[in-house]
C-alpha cells in the first residue's frame, strides 16, 4: 500500500511505496496509480468477493470460451 506524503502546488503528488512493492521499479519508470476506494478497501466486486471464491485458472477461462463458442454454433 502506497502512502501520499506530499502534495505540491503544481499538483504533483509524492507517494512512498514499501520496498517489497517497489523492488522491480526503476528510477524514472512509469507506473499506473489509482486511488483506493473507501480508504483501504478494494472496489466492488473485488473487495466483496475477496477470499470467498477460488482463483480463476487459465483452464477455466479456456473452458468458458469453448462453451460459449459451442453455444453460438448450435
Q: Is residue 34 part of a domain?
A: no
pLDDT digits (tens, 9 = 90+) for 8-55: 888 888 888 888 888 888 888 888 777 665 555 555 565 556 666 677
Does 68 map to a domain? yes
Question: Half-sphere exposure (CA, 13 Å, Cβ side) for 49?
Answer: 8
**32 belongs to a structural domain:** no
The pLDDT value given to residue 3: 85
Residue 74, pLDDT > 60, answer: no
Of 62 and 47, which is predicted with more confidence? 62
Predicted local distance difference test score (pLDDT) of residue 41: 58
Question: Is 31 among the domain residues?
Answer: no
* Distance between CA atoms of residues 63 and 13, nearest Å: 44
Within a 10 A sphere around the Cβ of 17, how many other Cβ atoms? 14
Answer yes or no: is 61 within a domain.
yes
d(CA 25, CA 19): 10
Amino acid at each position: 500500500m502506497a502512502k501520499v506524503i506530499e502534495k505540491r502546488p503544481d499538483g504533483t503528488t509524492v507517494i512512498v511505496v514499501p520496498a517489497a512493492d517497489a523492488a522491480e521499479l526503476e528510477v524514472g519508470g512509469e507506473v499506473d496509480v489509482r486511488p483506493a476506494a473507501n480508504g483501504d478497501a478494494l472496489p466492488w466486486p473485488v473487495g466483496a468477493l475477496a477470499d470467498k471464491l477460488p482463483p480463476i485458472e487459465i483452464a477455466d477461462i479456456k473452458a468458458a470460451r469453448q462453451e460459449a463458442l459451442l453455444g453460438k454454433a448450435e
